[in-house]
């Protein structure tokens, strides 16, 4: 299972959702959903835009952990 860590990265950098949306050239609602719904999986291009805006790797924005079924 995957979980977004966008909120953690934004908070750690002292940025806002609005700042990220403007810098990544995405709508506020898309970035807000990435923050509010950690199980939302945006398109790879969207993740790359956010990573570029935050000067981090896409891997920093997504966390993988095995499903209980896989363990």
Output the pLDDT for position 65. 83
Rounded to two decimals, what is the model's pTM? 0.89
What is the full DSSP assignment across 16-37?
-HHHHHHHHT--HHHHHHHHH-
Give the pLDDT of the chain (71 residues) as one tens digit per residue.
889 999 999 999 999 999 999 999 999 999 999 999 989 999 999 999 999 999 999 999 999 888 776 55
Output the pLDDT for position 66. 83
The answer to whether 67 and 2 are in contact (CB under 8 A) is no
For the chain, which domains are there? Answer: 2-64 (1.10.260.40)
């Amino acid at each position: 299972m995957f979980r977004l860590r966008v909120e953690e990265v934004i908070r750690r950098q002292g940025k806002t959702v609005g700042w990220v949306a403007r810098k990544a050239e995405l709508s506020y609602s898309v970035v807000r959903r990435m923050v509010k719904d950690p199980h939302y999986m945006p398109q790879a291009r969207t993740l790359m835009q956010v990573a570029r805006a935050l000067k981090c790797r896409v891997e920093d924005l997504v966390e993988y952990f095995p499903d209980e079924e896989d363990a």
